[in-house]
Structure 1
Amino acid sequence: MSKRNGTHEGTVNVAILGCGRIARHMARTLRSMARDERYRGLVRPYAVATRADERRAVEFAGEYGFDKAYGAYETMLADPEVDLVYIATPHALHAQHAIACMLAGKNVLVEKSFTANTGQAKKVLDVARQTKLLCTEAIWTRYMPSRAIILDAIRSGVIGEPRQVYANLSYPVSGKARMTDPAMAGGALLDVGVYPINFVAMAFPDAEPTRVTSSCVFTDRGVDEQFCATFWLDNGVMAVVDASMTAVGSRQGIVQGDKGYLIVENINNPEAVKVFDPDHRLVDTIPVPEQITGYEYQVVSAAKAILEGERECREMPHEETLRIMGVMDGLRAQWGEVYPFER
């Protein structure tokens, strides 16, 4: 990446820190972007690093077409050609890895949940301010075109005055070791529950909760297995969200007004927005644009922000990341859920 006359030009070299499932999803996205005329001049799948397994990194790089493979995070961070690091490690490690990347001069795209708690998030963003590097949360639904489509539908008045919103995301993922490990900030909340919370925040971006009630069920290791929360928003809307890591959920987002309602199919990666009238008749189906995987939008936003010298992405500014982290901290406080590293 070059810099001319005070503005950046060129291609952003993207590196992935970690080789797990979500890292592979991002790698497939970057590989496809490099072959797509819309994106290939903007981003380049450049490097991957594991904590201590060079062979695994080499196999990963070969499978997805990355130029470099590193068997240690520190070695990758010493590479001057790395422009942006996508952090794909467990929640409890996000803060230390993001800080290490920025202190090494690398911009960061940090997988959700941004950190394990608000205190960690503030430390990360303090380093972002000090280093003047881009630091943004990789919660993909915030960057998708579907976000504006849903908001436009709500604000169009087609369902009248919104009164209630419901959002669910549930997957049977308790078999994954990190999901049940308190030391890794396991549980349903940070992994799947973050999506319905963000759905409500995107549907009503100017509203704040005035009261919250919630309940959860814990695993035998003491992390939240499934939960339900009700938020009374200051715009008069009641929001109900739930999530589970042991059940198959509807994944629906439903916004209910006094003249109808709309259903978003799959809040985790919206497929369509269906509008119903007061008699429950389907009156419109609003399509969502075709995409590579859906991850490309956050990569594009981060890359453009770097080239333009920005330190945050407008789709998920630092203030909003802190707000969502605060909501999740508040829920855990109601449940008495404390991670070992917080004690």
Structure 2
Amino acid sequence: MTQIDRRFVVGALLATAASGPAFGARCRIARASLDAGWWPRPGLPARIQEIYPTVLDGRIFVAGGLEARDGPDVDAISDQLFVMRRQTEVAIGDTEAIRIACDFDWESRAPLPEPRHHPNLVGHDGFVYAIGGFRAGNGGIWEMIPNTTRYELGSDEWVEMAPMPVPYAETCAVSLGGLIHVATGRQPDAAANANWPDHGDRGDHLAYDASRDSWTRRAPNPNPRNSAAGAVLNGQFHIVGGRRVGGGNSDQHEAYDPVADTWQSRAPLPQAQGGLAAAVSGGKLVAFGGEYFDNGGGVYPQVWIYDPELDHWQAGPDMPTPRHGLGGVSLGDEIYAIGGASSASGRNTTNLVQRLRLAE
């Protein structure tokens, strides 16, 4: 299956979206070993992929995405916002490697103004921003948008802010140096903007100043691609992996210095992976998941751990349920792998949430 075919398959599966039910929050207590590895956490209330969650004030936020409502394959675009709060964990005893991990159930909050897939969520200056992505319209489900939509938890409201200067999606977005940075992804190649083939890879780098509600341009990423993963490590914006419309999966890895406004190449991923997620724990960058399309297609179980002092990757514990289109965030010293599909394209979309603790 070619990459374009993949998008047509997803498009054929999608149906109209509608808001889901509300989910009350309650605390699920679970005993979990202090040993390194993966542990299950409360699942999402819906099966969703192509999400970019974020963390703000100890809460995880997930909004939008491609949803599987009536079966395991995507058939809708979601407008739902789910929020989960984590309680401080308490060690038990002096010798037992046991603790109580308390994650509240996911709670449904105010939906996005419209169903969107691939919106990048960024926690920044007390708000959650949903940036870019796609919506259904004008003859397709891949109408790319420039929207910057801000969510405030206290009022439970979304507000439209200044849009990006261009539509942008399948990007990486982080909060860094007082700005929101958005880099690499895809944009429309011409006037058409409704289907996946209408867009091409870009290395554009845009920065949003919330105090001025305005966007400016920064140094572009030298390796245009889409579906990469991004995270902030040691004050720099790292982008890893991804794929190119005509070139397949990528192993490239760059780091952006916001002071110098420059990108530098770093050690590439040991394996080219697109549609992956990344997060930071213990001063290291962790990349995981993704999909491939040759030989019938599939998903990657591999987890890669990057040490910035050595500029070196090493293998981590494989994902217990390999997925692509998933989200990755970190809370404390642990990483959450959220949602995604266990088969390539829009098939076998899950609501799984699993948590990784790295070995010390």
TM-score over 0.5 for the alignment? Answer: no
| Higher Cα Rg, which structure | 1
Q: Which one has the bigger helix percentage?
A: 1
What's the TM-score, normalizing by structure 2?
A: 0.29
Q: Which one has the bigger strand percentage?
A: 2
